[in-house]
A and B are shown apart, each in its own frame.
Chain A
Amino acid sequence: MFRAVFYTQWKWAKPIILLGVLIAGYIPVEALRSMAYKTAGVYYIPSLYGSISSASTGYQLLALGVAVVVAISAWQADAQRQHVYSLSLPVPRWKFVLLRFGAGAALLGIVALAVGVFGGVAAALAPLPAMLHAYPAGLAVRFWLGELIPFGLIFALLASNPKRVRVVVIAIATLVAVDFLLAAFGVTKTTEMTHWLWDALYSSSGPLAAFLSKWMLIDV
């Protein structure tokens, strides 16, 4: 059952997964490419650190992009047909949702695996200074867990009742629009509600907090 569901989702998400794998291969190559031409000097470590930091942002954007597209593709075909096919299958709804989630998580794992493998290979080929170490496996796990957060949020939203989704989206859009208008006309000093929403999502206990920290392939 899982294999069949996984296969359908693979078919729908194949382009983004393959693109994700390619980008996962490109990021460490781009980050470490310049090292071959540098010598260990005073500017070497800061330069390397800047390069690896940029790669961290690249990984975060990649995780976010792949997760969003995979979550959407998991439900798009069902949503187009009002979920009639999935509802006519002889499995409890929670189990079908779990199958879809599991298949999506496994697909995201492919990109995470590529992050680990390509990161490991690139780090192994690059002349790293003695005090620095590569953590491709740790990065891959972090990448995968990072992917699961936005994937889970969007997946849950799309698996839910369309009316409820509309209400949530309209409520957030209204909140942000009102907040910006109030700030623009000087009623409030800043966009307070938007800041509050941002903090709720990105504070240390927020679901997207992982995206504010660095995802380092190479660290001390």
Chain B
Amino acid sequence: MSDAIAMRHVAFRPGKDFAIRDLSLTVPTGSIYGFLGPNGSGKTTTIKLILGMQEADDGLIEVLGHQIPQGAPQALARIGYVPERAHLYQSLTVSEMMDLHRAFFVTWDAARAEELRRQFNLRHEQRIERLSKGESGKLMMLLALSTRPELLVLDEPTDGLDPVVRRDVLGALVEYVSARGATVLVSSHLVHEQERICDWVGVMDGGNLVAEMPMNTFRSGIKRLRVSGAPPVLPAAPFTLLGRSATAGTEEEWGVRGWQPEMSAWLQAQGATLRETIDLDLEESFVELLSTARTGGTA
């Protein structure tokens, strides 16, 4: 099965202060891909490159089999997009915005749109400029889902929404994905939210993709070890040492990836003692990974 999104060696410099260098990213078809990263890490810029809104300086981007940006209109016809900030025409009403959107998408599902409108408690005559942030988020999700997309690209879709609205929006998304098996690329810095719905994860930092793997691997693969008596220089290890820091006396904390319990024998062989293995949740793993990437460690 081909990948829904494939970026290969993409480079893009939108300004003096930020650049994406040699970015390769793969979103498998049918996956829910959580695109993590702190604010300003390049998630939105990457999404704009994927949608053909900005043109890469170098590299290859393919979305649903279409080369971007040349094939962007064909790809966009099969994509539902929810941007980071409300992008709708403020002076239109909900109904007028739906009519405008329908005119551009031949796959528009009017019955589903109406169903979602009722489910989201949006009124036809409500002016978009008078919608609350939550209502605006719901309308954007309604527009994205009503085109029956094969790929959903959601840029911080629940950022700033209250828990009730967030539940409604995510509920509609999960319902759609489970019914149609669509691929989803969802960008967020809300790590716990991603943990619940995603099966793949990619982590951006400073314009680089510092990790990309199945969620299970990410969740279980990164651990923190408390080790004592380890020599300063280590031979090649059977796991990936993300970073090490001294705590007290000869004790150190190691961030590791690919750890298995039987690997403690390797530590003993180096004259070190494993004091404790600490399981990290997704957020801690994310922080560990970022701090490693920023200090130049191997992610």
Contact residues on B (Cβ < 8 Å of other chain), bracket: 20 to 34
A131 on interface, CB distance cutoff 8 Å:
no
Other-chain residue from A4, A11, A84 in contact with B53 (beta carbon distance below 8 A): A84
A46 on interface, CB distance cutoff 8 Å:
no
B105 on interface, CB distance cutoff 8 Å:
yes
In the complex, chain A residues whose CB is within 8 Å of the CB of B102 = 4
In the complex, chain A residues whose CB is within 8 Å of the CB of B83 = 84, 88
Give the docked Cα–Cα distance between A82 and B75 (Å): 21
Other-chain residue from B87, B91, B105 in contact with A12 (beta carbon distance below 8 A): B91
Give the docked Cα–Cα distance between A85 and B105 (Å): 13
Chain B: minimal CB distance from A110 (Å): 19
Question: Known: A8-B96, A11-B96. Is A90-B105 also a contact (CB below 8 A)?
Answer: yes
B73 near A92 with CB under 8 A, answer yes
Q: Which of B81-124 contact A (CB under 8 A)?
A: 81, 83, 85-92, 96, 99-100, 102-105
In the complex, chain B residues whose CB is within 8 Å of the CB of A81 = 85-89
A1 near B73 with CB under 8 A, answer no
- B55-75 to A contact mask, C-beta < 8 Å, 1/0: 000000000000000000111
In the complex, chain A residues whose CB is within 8 Å of the CB of B99 = 4, 7
Give the docked Cα–Cα distance between A88 and B78 (Å): 11
In the complex, chain A residues whose CB is within 8 Å of the CB of B88 = 81, 85
B104 near A77 with CB under 8 A, answer no
Other-chain residue from B74, B76, B86, B96 in contact with A88 (beta carbon distance below 8 A): B76
Question: Known: A1-B104, A88-B81. Is A77-B76 also a contact (CB below 8 A)?
Answer: no
B104 near A89 with CB under 8 A, answer yes
Chain B: minimal CB distance from A140 (Å): 30
Give the docked Cα–Cα distance between A1 and B103 (Å): 5
B51 near A91 with CB under 8 A, answer no
In the complex, chain B residues whose CB is within 8 Å of the CB of A189 = none
Chain B: minimal CB distance from A84 (Å): 4
In the complex, chain A residues whose CB is within 8 Å of the CB of B105 = 90
B267 on interface, CB distance cutoff 8 Å:
no
In the complex, how many residues of chain A place their beta carbon closer than 8 angstroms to a beta carbon of chain B? 20
In the complex, chain B residues whose CB is within 8 Å of the CB of A91 = 73, 104
Chain A: minimal CB distance from B127 (Å): 11
Instruction: Classify the interface of chain A: helix, strand, loop or mixed.
Output: helix
A87 on interface, CB distance cutoff 8 Å:
yes
Chain A: minimal CB distance from B247 (Å): 47
Other-chain residue from B53, B74, B76, B89 in contact with A8 (beta carbon distance below 8 A): B89
In the complex, chain A residues whose CB is within 8 Å of the CB of B104 = 1, 4, 89-91
Other-chain residue from A3, A80, A82, A84 in contact with B103 (beta carbon distance below 8 A): A3
Give the docked Cα–Cα distance between A112 and B91 (Å): 26
Other-chain residue from A7, A77, A89, A92 in contact with B90 (beta carbon distance below 8 A): A77
Of A5, A80, A87, most buried by chain B (CB within 10 Å of CB) is A87
In the complex, chain A residues whose CB is within 8 Å of the CB of B174 = none
Of A81, A84, A88, A91, most buried by chain B (CB within 10 Å of CB) is A88
B77 on interface, CB distance cutoff 8 Å:
yes
Chain B: minimal CB distance from A73 (Å): 10
Other-chain residue from B53, B86, B91 in contact with A87 (beta carbon distance below 8 A): B53
B76 near A85 with CB under 8 A, answer no
Chain A: minimal CB distance from B70 (Å): 10
In the complex, chain A residues whose CB is within 8 Å of the CB of B92 = 8, 11
- A66-90 to B contact mask, C-beta < 8 Å, 1/0: 0000000000010011101101111
Give the docked Cα–Cα distance between A8 and B99 (Å): 10
A80 near B77 with CB under 8 A, answer no
Question: Known: A1-B104, A4-B100. Is A88-B89 also a contact (CB below 8 A)?
Answer: no
In the complex, chain B residues whose CB is within 8 Å of the CB of A8 = 89, 92, 96, 100
B87 near A84 with CB under 8 A, answer yes
In the complex, chain A residues whose CB is within 8 Å of the CB of B53 = 84, 87-88
Q: Which residues of B contact A (CB under 8 A)?
A: 51-53, 73-77, 81, 83, 85-92, 96, 99-100, 102-105
Given contacts A87-B52, A87-B53, could you give 15 more A-B pairs where the C-beta distance is less than 8 Å? A1-B104, A4-B102, A4-B103, A5-B100, A7-B96, A7-B99, A7-B100, A8-B92, A77-B89, A81-B86, A81-B88, A84-B53, A88-B87, A90-B75, A90-B104
Q: Which residues of A contact B (CB under 8 A)?
A: 1, 3-5, 7-8, 11-12, 77, 80-82, 84-85, 87-92
- 23 A-B pairs, CB-CB below 8 angstroms? A1-B103, A3-B103, A4-B103, A4-B104, A5-B103, A7-B96, A7-B99, A7-B100, A8-B96, A8-B100, A77-B90, A81-B88, A82-B87, A84-B87, A85-B87, A85-B88, A87-B52, A88-B76, A90-B75, A90-B76, A90-B77, A90-B104, A92-B73
